[in-house]
Amino acid sequence: MTEINLRGLDKNELLQLQKDVAKELKEYDERSRKEARAKLEAEAAALGFTLEELTGKKPIKKANPPKYAHPENPTMTWSGRGRQPAWIKEHLEAGKSLDDLQIRK
């Protein structure tokens, strides 16, 4: 393993190193988890089952993708399901259409 002289780094360099290490650890865990799942699914398939049949768990459902976005702040979105956000209500109360906020692909 490469040795790094941490005492020779300033605070900003140490903070960046910390972020880089945390990101790499997260990606490493994700890769390891995917590899393990693939191995387990292959073993279950070889025995004539799905992994979900053996564990009794259903696959995790994905969240509904957003259908509407705030006109001034596109990071504020709504899937069109559940309770309407305040910005949607304000838009509709102003007499505007929900179609105006629809995300176009």
CA 23 to chain centre: 14
- pTM, 2 dp: 0.49
User: Which residue is it, tokens 């941490």?
Assistant: 6
What pLDDT shows up at residue 105? 72
Contact (Cβ atoms closer than 8 angstroms) between residue 103 and residue 75 = no
Which residues, other chains included, contact 65 with Cβ-Cβ below 8 Å and sequence gap of 6+? 79
Q: Rounded to an integer, what distance in angstroms lies between the CA atom of residue 92 and that of residue 88?
A: 6
Which among 102, 96, 42, 18 is positioned nearest to 67, based on CA atoms?
102
pLDDT digits (tens, 9 = 90+) for 7-65: 999 999 999 999 999 999 999 999 999 999 999 999 999 999 988 889 888 767 778 89
What pLDDT shows up at residue 68? 95
What pLDDT shows up at residue 40? 94
Q: Answer whether residue 1 shows pLDDT above 80.
A: no
The whole-number average pLDDT for the span 68-86 is 93
